Amino acid sequence: MGASEGAGKFSLAVLAISQILQQGKKAILLVSHEVIVQKKTQLLTRLFSKKKVARTFEDLTKDAQILAAADLIVTTAQALDVLSRKWNKRKGSNDVKLLVIDNLHLLTEGNSTLEVVISRMRFISSETNGGCRLFCLSSSLADFK
């Protein structure tokens, strides 16, 4: 979904996350920086107070435990890259049914890790029953080539 700042993209993402959590499945919110991870985790913890909202720490052992236990995970592309490498051996990986990618326009700025994570999640989606839906948020892509 491409729209300008303040147009309500994140509100729509919250609605999509809400639907997935109501089905008893997991969702991941992927953001660009660690500072944003902290802010979004605080916000989503308030919004989904009856669900387990967690953030990653770029520590594989701790993050694997978070993946298994949390309903909603807020992370960066780098942390999700490490966590998703052995997705078929990690408990909770098959329950992820929504990946919300905030700031998709950063993909055009040479962010190869984000590109790898998106490709891997699409592969995981094709390999699992029910798949994982991608919901991408971006600023205007008018200059995209």
Binned at pLDDT 50, 70 and 90, residue 29 comes out as very high
DSSP string covering 4-34: -TTSSHHHHHHHHHHHHHHTT-EEEEEESSH
- Where are the chain's structural domains? 9-136
- Summarised one tens digit per residue, pLDDT across range 62-107 is 777 888 889 999 998 888 888 888 777 777 777 788 999 887 776 5
pTM of the model: 0.85
Architecture of the 9-136 domain: 3-Layer(aba) Sandwich (3.40)
Tell me the residue length of the chain: 145
At 114, phi and psi to the nearest 5? Answer: -60, -40
